[in-house]
Amino acid sequence: MMIYFALCSLEDNNRQIPFYTKTTKLKILAVDDNHEFLESLKFNIQNEYQNIEITTVSSGENAIDCIRDNGFHLILLDLVMPGMDGADVLKQIKKIDRKYFVIIMTAHANDKLMQIVKKENPDGILHKPFSLKELNKYFPKNFRG
């Protein structure tokens, strides 16, 4: 099953993924309340890339705990979730460390929510559904297909 998407660019943000070296696995945290989407995303990434380790969590609260306990190079964060939404999680991530590389994923963006998110300066926004080909552009060059 492919995950198809369209990309919304944010004023040519060319920041590199921090904390990453070529000798380590790229560590990704995916946060989404849709379990089927998370499983599909994890399956596709693991089948396409051997040097990527992906962890999935289904709530904003679990994401914050996971980020505090583990180091990640890239965080894929759903925008609309029950409880702590993606905008609130992004604010908390930036309080923990502004260097985290965060990509917002959304299927239900509205203008007000997008304005809040953009103030926190995410590194990208992916509109669901999306493909690995576009996600690939955020990976370090040695991971790109």
82: CATH = 3.40.50.2300
Q: What is the pLDDT of residue 18?
A: 53
Whether residue 74 is contained in a domain is answered as yes
Whether residue 58 is contained in a domain is answered as yes
Q: What is the pLDDT of residue 38?
A: 96
Q: What is the pLDDT of residue 111?
A: 78
Whether residue 141 is contained in a domain is answered as no
Which contiguous run of DSSP H or E holds residue 89? helix 86-96
Phi, psi of 86 (to 5 degrees): -60, -35
Smallest Cα–Cα separation from 124: which of 61, 76, 80, 88? 76
Could you give the CA distance from residue 38 to residue 77 in angstroms, rounded to a whole number? 11
Whether residue 111 is contained in a domain is answered as yes
∠ at Cα 94 (90, 100), nearest 5°? Answer: 90
pTM of the full structure: 0.82
> Domain count of the chain?
1
Q: Give the chain's residues under pLDDT 50.
A: 1-13
Whether residue 140 is contained in a domain is answered as no
∠ at Cα 52 (119, 39), nearest 5°? Answer: 75
Q: What is the pLDDT of residue 99?
A: 84
Q: What is the pLDDT of residue 21?
A: 59
Could you give the CA distance from residue 126 to residue 47 in angstroms, rounded to a whole number? 21
Q: What is the pLDDT of residue 12?
A: 38
Residue 89: domain span: 6-128
What is the β-pairing status of strands 74-78 and 26-31? parallel
What is the β-pairing status of strands 101-106 and 6-8? unpaired
Whether residue 135 is contained in a domain is answered as no
Q: What is the pLDDT of residue 98?
A: 83
